Amino acid sequence: MITLALSKGRIFDDSLPLLAAAGIEVLDDPEKSRKLILATNRSDLRVVLVRATDVPTYVQHGGADLGVAGLDVLLEHGAEHSAGGAGGNAGLYRPLDLRIARCRMSVATREDFDYAAAVRQGSRIRVATKYTQAARQHFAAKGVHVDLIKLYGSMELAPLTGLADAIVDLVSTGSTLKANRLVEVERIMDISSRLVVNAAALKVKREPLRALIDAFERAVEAQR
Ligand code: ATP
Ligand code: MG
């Protein structure tokens, strides 16, 4: 049996066309069913639904053989689990950029905050984000002094309430920022979802996993 970890919502929805192109059909609709294990048209393949941030954990520890996770999630996971010297994404093989759930990680502030001036003057900037590892790296590389405030959601609220001067968040169309009168002042990196595979599973179940990875690769190329 091969177990594929997906998260509900954007990643599940954007993975469906790639799965279809690989000849795989998921037999339950996660929005209608409460099941966490979904059957597919292939008796040797099942889908497990986990939180987006839990996908690397499932795949790394063998709860799933492979999964789909955003680069944002993989970067945070890798940095948070790297204590003790071992690479935080050790055992996680990352063969493929699936080019789905695309967006960018950016710095945003209130319209009336002069980010460029704050950076130029070497001020300490308070930054609220879910992505503390990526944010820390970004500002360190720029030589900007920041106080990072970890949040788990609704980052847009932070500059509006005075919790922070800036946020680091994912942006796609920019409409959420606009609705909250925030402006994107710096693009940190482009984000898309990646296929991640358990390295040990790739040895034990080499043929079926290789076939799946190859099918996904062809599907990604076909959709470019
Ligand atoms: P949860 O909603 O369960 O707290 P989450 O916010 O990480 O978790 P999603 O909103 O489904 O879950 O996001 C999953 C992934 O989709 C993110 O890790 C990111 O890679 C990508 N993503 C997030 N926001 C956007 C966006 N605005 N546009 C495109 N892709 C996005
Ligand atoms: Mg979300």
Q: Find the mean pLDDT for residues 95-123.
A: 97
Q: Among the atoms of ligand 1, which is closest to the Cα of residue 51?
A: 3
Sign of CA dihedral 170, 51, 99, 10: negative
Q: Which among 106, 107, 100 has a CA at the least distance from the CA of 70?
A: 100
pLDDT at 84 over 70: no
Domains of the chain: 2-102+192-222 (3.40.190.10), 103-190 (3.40.190.10)
Q: Which residues contact 87 (CB under 8 A, 6 or more apart)?
A: 78
Beta strands in 111-192 (DSSP E): 125-129, 146-150, 166-171, 182-191
175-196 pLDDT per residue, tens: 999 999 999 999 999 999 999 9
Return the residue whose CA atom lies nearest to atom 15 of ligand 1: 70
Q: What per-residue confidence (pLDDT) applies to 191? A: 98
Predicted local confidence at residue 80, as pLDDT: 81
Both tokens of residue 90? 């050790």
* Distance (Å) from CA 121 to ligand 1 centroid: 34
What pLDDT band is residue 159 in, cutting at 50, 70 and 90? very high
- pLDDT band at 82, cuts 50/70/90? confident
Q: Is residue 60 within 8 Å of 66, Cβ to Cβ?
A: no
The model's pTM is: 0.95
Q: Is the CB of 55 under 6 A from ligand 1?
A: no
Please report, for residues 59, 85, 99, the alpha-carbon distance to residue 52 in angstroms, rounded to integers and kept in the order given. 12, 25, 16
Q: Phi first, then psi: what are they for 34, rounded to 5°?
A: -100, 5
Average pLDDT (47-62) is 98
Buried b / exposed e across 101-137, counting CB within 10 Å, b at 16+? bebbbbbbbbeebebeebbeeeeebbbbbbbbbbbbe
Model confidence at 89: pLDDT above 90:
no
Instruction: Specify the range with the lowest mean pLDDT, choosing from 22-26, 80-84, 125-129, 216-220.
Output: 80-84
Q: Is 13 exposed, middle or buried (0-12, 13-18, 19+ CB in 10 A)?
A: middle
Beta bridge partners of 191: 103
